[in-house]
Amino acid sequence: MRSRLLLSTKHISLLASTPNRFWPAIAQWSYKSVLLRNTRPILARGFLSSVANNLVPGTRNLSESNSSKSLTLEEQIPNLYIDKLPEGSETTPDGYVTASFYSFFNIESKSLVQLRYDLLSMNTHLDKVSTRYKIGPQDPQFLTLLKAQIEKDPHPYVSFSIPIKKIQIVTGRIYVHELGINAQVSFDKEYVRAFRLMLETIPELANKVPAFNFALANKRAFKKLHVRIRPLVAAGQDLSLDILANEPEYLDPSEWHRQIDNLQHNTLQKQGGIQNDSDTPVLIDMRNIYENKVGKFVGAECPDVDTFREEIDVVKKMYPKDKPIYMYCTGGIRCSVAGAILKSEGYQSVKTLRGGVVAYGQWIKEKDASSTSPVESLYVGLNFTFDKRLGERVTSDVLAHCQQCGQPNDTYTNCANKTCNLLFIQCPSCKTEHLNTCGSKECIDAVTHPHSSKKPTIHSYHERIRPDLVINH
């Protein structure tokens, strides 16, 4: 059984008088369980940090805090104001905005668990400041007090058993890995600076998180905050920072628009096909088949694949290494990875849309709002999203059809029968007629006579994202 350390008031006093030279050894207790008398277990690292900051004079953290008092908050955190809220965020129906960001850099594997806890504790920090000082993010002192709260208690207790009873200020899905971070988040728009501050005060993330890539639809897209230690993308092969250093050429939305517009008018055939000579550029949609079914760039090649790892294999088989390649995806990370893989394997010209369809859609919105001559979008339809929105509109074009009645429609839904969970396109009439299910007798019975017991899913992953294999068969 793992040994446990019982700390009484006497022990705490001894720690307070411990010379600084012994603290590196004490820090080795970081991941051991510490029991305070008559209290619940807490992470030793967080407890010891608190002791060091509050009881031990002259420690490194305390001296850093004192030296920073002479600096402004912006001088202490240079990236504090790099995030600009998108057009229309002032009218968001629930006060939330959704954004994504990713970055490739080294994180020591032994730091990942604590990084996960630090990210999960962001809402705790916000709640403590609001509760203790009775102020909100509009107060000029909020950010200063938030930073002080984090310095005082950088690793608060995180419970996985206590139910979350209210809507969190920060929600989303964050993946951390030895190669970096990949995040899709929703947060109250009033807390955009606070959210940035919390990220920047985590040592592993300081000065490594780029400006947020804000979504086109301004509303909360996640129920609560999840942070997982897992690969950033499922590439189907081992990745390293050396491979990812082979970056494709990034084009911002305006330059991408200019080059793709030229490509469409001069080299792509009207039907969206491509010429076969190796000198002619190809435009590739690096998303899955169900994503490009509801929206895409005109003239793009859309491989018939279900996963990202399949997409990379198809590109390698279809195109020679001397063929110029343009590629795009939802938010950019898949093309960053795919482009790096292709470049590392000898592909000569790989260009990608920085920020993906999300950034391009924002650029189109800004041009429409600020220009007397709006730019015609080269992307048509919806941009599929992997959250409860299941898509955000870029243009009014409807490319798909209801998979139950055949009427033009591009609204994705999941079958209300959780054991089916089929992802398919359904119009409002069919949603009412089939009770938001795929229409099978089993699924209609399941939602009209629900059972409390959980059952395994009845479809494989490939069937669930290809409803034509299931509906009406």
Rg of the chain over Cα atoms, rounded to whole angstroms, equals 26
DSSP assignment of 23-51, as one string?
A: HHHHGGGTTSEEEETTS--EEHHHHHHHH
Question: Which residues have C-beta within 8 Å of that of residue 127, sequence separation ≥ 6?
Answer: 169
Q: Which amino acid is at 114?
A: Q
335 noted as active-site residue? no
Q: Work out the widest C-alpha separation in the chain, in whole angstroms.
A: 81
In 3D space, the residue among 16, 17, 46 whose CA is nearest the CA of residue 29 turns out to be 46
> In this structure, what DSSP letter does residue 288 have?
-
Residues 6 or more apart whose CB falls under 8 angstroms from that of 315 comprise 284, 286, 303, 325, 327, 338, 342
- Residues ≥6 apart with Cβ < 8 Å to 470: 422, 438, 440, 459, 463
Q: Find, among 207, 180, 202, the residue nearest to 118 by Cα.
A: 202
- Phi then psi for 225, rounded to 5 degrees? -90, 125
* Catalytic option among 302, 329, 335, 438: 329
How does 105-143 read in b/e, with b if 16+ C-beta sit within 10 Å? eebeeeebebbbbbbbbbbbbbebbbeeeeeebeeeebb
- Residue linked to tokens 């899913």: 457
Nearest Cα neighbor of 331 from 438, 172, 122 is 172
Nearest to 212 by CA among 227, 226, 228, 193: 193
Q: What is the DSSP string of 322-374?
A: TS-EEEE-SSSHHHHHHHHHHHHTT-S-EEEETTHHHHHHHHHHHHHHH-SSP
Q: Are 428 and 251 in contact (CB under 8 A)?
A: no
Q: Taking the CA of residue 95 as centre, how many other CA atoms within 13 Å lie in the half-sphere pointing to its CB?
A: 8
Smallest CA-to-CA distance from 50 within 171, 150, 145 is with 150
Which two tokens mark 302?
């859309």
Mutual orientation of helices 192-200 and 142-152 as an angle, nearest 10°? 30
**Residue the block writes with tokens 């089993």:** 442
Question: Which token pair is 317?
Answer: 């088989």
φ, ψ of residue 175 to 5 degrees: the values are: -110, 130
Catalytic residues: 329
